[in-house]
């Protein structure tokens, strides 16, 4: 990146502050029920215009999960979020369900490993919500690198794997006799797979009962997408030169080298620019027409989608090099702190892979590749499911995820190492 690129980004945001203040005032005036102009067609267009401007120039903060209750066994059950494990770059959140007296069912633990790829863990809000009735659910809440002072130290892919091993150990130490299942969405597929392989190689008692990998880049040489091809063509040095910047003054992490979240967001938006432009045009039309429900759905999605965080430079560059440029895991060359990651060591942790037919981030076959690496895992403990008519986001969110993918994950966990697991496989 050019020198002071992050500073220029901050300056441009602050330069728009007066205009945003004017739009705030305009919205108050236009939305006032006492203002007859707000009921006219021109007034509605002006109101839609100022809202779009405000939303497109806003700095979106970290969202919350916002769960208040779920249904367990058909009964409404309150939920309390608790941080049960914490390190400088990650908090483990438990969605503790508040049962009355002896009504607590004996349900397994589910660790959902959220991606560290520019968005907050709340991007998996729908994923978490779908599993709350069936598991004691935990999720990794990764920190925004610009909020972590230099004194917090480095954080790279090896540290990420260490964190996952530590979390599995923490959740296994409860000695409640309940299984621990793990689920990695997209980016975590590789470090979760590596963490399990390392635990299995040490015959660790903390190895999870299963790992479900969803839309993950295990082997990006298969059905390579535009994202995969770009990384392989340009190499790690290009990303280091063009994508890394220092956090400016004004943040706790000032001076830390990061891959800024606004760059990742720009990349995602650029991949489907027409779709995002059309979505905002539709929002404008919904606001003018008074279609509150459709407008609110748009707001909810983009409030989440436009909330981004920074990644430490060392984690980003190591991930690009290991996963997308050198393909170290499928080539048998991946190491963790000098120790080889050996997928052949996986013998006890069942494996389920889930892919989306129209995934333009992790192509079909990239996650399925994990099965070829687990040569000593019995076929009865492996299954793959290809979900038709969904893209990358639909693998872990939306109606097809809730109605078709979630039941297969539940059935796989229930099947264990029986013949039922084999029947789930759709390759």
User: What was the pLDDT predicted at 418?
Assistant: 37
**Is residue 121 predicted with pLDDT exceeding 90?**
yes
Question: Once rounded to an integer, what is the mean pLDDT over residues 379-388?
Answer: 96
pLDDT at 284: 47
Are the C-beta atoms of residues 164 and 89 closer than 8 Å to each other? no
Task: Inform me whether the pLDDT recorded for 351 exceeds 60.
Answer: yes
Confidence of residue 276 (pLDDT cuts 50, 70, 90): very low
Q: Residue 404 pLDDT more than 70?
A: yes
The stretch 83-96 carries a mean pLDDT of 97
For residues 79-98, give the mean pLDDT: 97
Crossing angle of helices 41-57 and 273-289, in 10° steps, is 140
Is the pLDDT at 295 greater than 90? The verdict is no
Q: How far is Cα 76 from Cα 100, in angstroms, rounded to an integer?
A: 11
Mean pLDDT of 64-72: 93
Is 367's pLDDT higher than 90?
Answer: yes
pLDDT of residue 149: 97
* Residues 132-173 pLDDT 10s: 999 999 999 999 999 999 999 999 999 999 999 999 999 986
| pLDDT recorded at residue 225 | 92
354 contacts 212 by C-beta, under 8 angstroms:
yes
| The pLDDT value given to residue 422 | 37
pLDDT of 230-245, one tens digit each?
Answer: 889 999 999 999 889 9
Model confidence pLDDT, tens digit, residues 163-201: 999 999 999 866 567 899 999 999 999 999 999 999 999
Q: Please provide the DSSP assignment of 288-356 as one string.
A: HHT-HHHHHHHHHHHHHHT-B--EEHHHHHHHIIIIIIS-TTTTT--EETTEE--GGG--SSEEEEEEE
Name which of 116, 207, 213 is nearest 165 in CA terms. 207
Q: 87 pLDDT band (50/70/90 cuts)? A: very high
Contacts (Cβ under 8 Å, ≥6 apart) of 369: 218, 219, 222, 330
Q: How confident is the model at residue 104 (pLDDT cuts 50, 70, 90)?
A: confident
- Rg from Cα positions in the chain: 23
Two structure tokens written together for 403: 């109605």
Tell me the average pLDDT across 367-394.
96
Q: Which DSSP symbol is given to 205?
A: T
β-pairing, 339-340 with 335-336?
antiparallel
Confidence of residue 423 (pLDDT cuts 50, 70, 90): very low
Q: Output the pTM of the full model.
A: 0.85
Confidence of residue 20 (pLDDT cuts 50, 70, 90): low
Cα distances (angstroms) measured from residue 365 to each of 44, 369, 425: 48, 6, 14
Question: For position 176, what pLDDT does the model report?
Answer: 65
End-to-end CA distance of the chain: 42
**Average confidence (pLDDT) over 385-406:** 94
pLDDT for 166: 97
pLDDT of res. 74: 87
Between 13 and 424, the higher pLDDT residue: 13
- Please determine, for residue 224, whether its predicted confidence score (pLDDT) is greater than 90: yes
User: pLDDT: is 55 or 382 the higher one?
Assistant: 382
Residue 185 and residue 112: Cα distance in Å, rounded?
8
Q: CA dist 312 to 111, 151, 228, 284, Å?
A: 23, 14, 21, 36
Does the pLDDT at position 10 exceed 50?
yes
Residue 394: partners with Cβ closer than 8 Å, 6 or more residues away: 356, 358, 387, 400, 401
Q: Token pair for residue 283?
A: 């929002």
């Amino acid at each position: 990146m050019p020198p002071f690129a992050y500073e220029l980004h901050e300056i441009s945001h602050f330069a728009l502050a007066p205009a945003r203040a004017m739009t705030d005032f305009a919205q108050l005036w236009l939305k006032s029920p006492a203002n007859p102009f707000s009921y006219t067609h021109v007034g509605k267009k002006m109101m839609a215009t100022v809202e779009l401007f405000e939303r497109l120039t806003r700095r979106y903060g970290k969202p919350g999960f916002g769960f208040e209750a779920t249904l367990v066994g058909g009964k409404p059950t309150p939920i309390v979020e608790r941080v049960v494990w914490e390190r400088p770059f990650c908090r483990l959140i438990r969605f503790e369900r508040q049962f009355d007296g002896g009504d607590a069912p004996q349900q397994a633990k589910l660790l959902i490993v959220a991606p560290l790829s520019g968005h907050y863990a709340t991007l998996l809000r729908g994923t978490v919500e779908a599993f709350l009735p069936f598991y004691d659910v935990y999720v990794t809440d990764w920190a925004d690198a610009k909020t972590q002072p230099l004194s917090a130290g480095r954080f790279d892919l090896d540290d990420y794997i260490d964190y996952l091993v530590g979390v599995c150990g923490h959740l296994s130490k409860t000695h409640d006799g309940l299984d621990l299942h793990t689920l990695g969405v997209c980016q975590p597929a590789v470090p979760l797979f590596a963490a399990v392989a390392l635990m299995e190689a040490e015959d660790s008692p903390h190895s999870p009962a299963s790992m479900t990998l969803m839309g993950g880049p295990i082997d990006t040489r298969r059905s390579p997408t535009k994202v995969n091809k770009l990384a392989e063509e340009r190499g790690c040095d290009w990303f280091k030169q063009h994508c890394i910047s220092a956090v400016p003054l004004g943040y706790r992490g000032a001076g830390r080298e990061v891959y800024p979240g606004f760059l990742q967001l720009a990349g995602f938006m650029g991949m489907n620019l027409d779709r995002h432009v059309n979505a905002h045009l539709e929002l404008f039309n919904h606001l003018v027409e008074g279609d509150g429900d459709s407008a609110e759905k748009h707001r909810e999605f983009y409030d989440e989608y436009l909330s981004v965080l920074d990644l430490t430079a060392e984690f980003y560059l190591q991930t690009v090099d290991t996963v997308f440029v050198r393909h170290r895991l499928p080539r048998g060359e991946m190491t963790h702190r000098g120790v080889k990651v050996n997928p052949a060591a996986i013998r006890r942790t069942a494996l389920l892979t889930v892919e989306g037919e129209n995934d333009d981030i992790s192509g079909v076959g990239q996650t399925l590749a994990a099965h070829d690496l687990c040569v000593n895992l019995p076929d009865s403990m492996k299954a793959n499911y290809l979900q038709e008519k969904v893209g990358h986001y639909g693998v872990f969110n939306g109606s097809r995820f809730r109605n078709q993918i979630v039941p297969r994950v539940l059935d796989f966990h229930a099947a264990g190492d029986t013949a039922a697991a084999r029947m789930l496989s759709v390759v």
